[in-house]
């Protein structure tokens, strides 16, 4: 890594392109943000730019209640995902990693 790793925004050509998603597509992109589920405990999160294939999503709650409230991302498609929480108006952070350049 020391001689051919990432420096700034340039990645050494010796590293293969990461392929993720289904179907697998070259390149990898990240998008992230925050949201609040509605009074109905859901929120559709729409990406700024659609991925080339459905991305992987990680969610963390902000100030989760003592009852272990969590936010679950499902379904996930190229342009959005549905967040569902155990209680209404649950704030959360999200990050999406997926195929293709956005």
pLDDT tens column, 19-36: 655 666 556 788 999 988
pLDDT higher for 24 or 86? 86
Side-chain-side CA neighbours of residue 49 (13 Å)? 10
Domains of the chain are 20-99 (2.60.40.2080)
> Quick one: which of 18, 14, 41 has its CA closest to 30?
18
d(CA 87, CA 82): 15
Summarised one tens digit per residue, pLDDT across range 38-55 is: 888 889 999 998 988 888
d(CA 31, CA 63): 22
């Amino acid at each position: 890594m020391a001689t051919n790793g990432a420096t700034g925004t340039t990645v050494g050509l010796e590293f293969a392109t990461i392929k993720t998603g289904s179907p697998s597509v070259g390149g990898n992109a990240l998008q992230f943000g925050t949201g609040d589920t509605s009074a109905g405990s859901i929120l559709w999160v729409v990406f700024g730019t659609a991925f080339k294939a459905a991305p992987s999503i990680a969610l963390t709650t902000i100030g989760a209640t003592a009852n272990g409230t969590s936010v679950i991302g499902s379904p996930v498609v190229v342009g959005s995902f549905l967040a569902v929480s155990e209680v209404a108006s649950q704030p959360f952070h999200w990050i999406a990693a997926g195929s293709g350049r956005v």
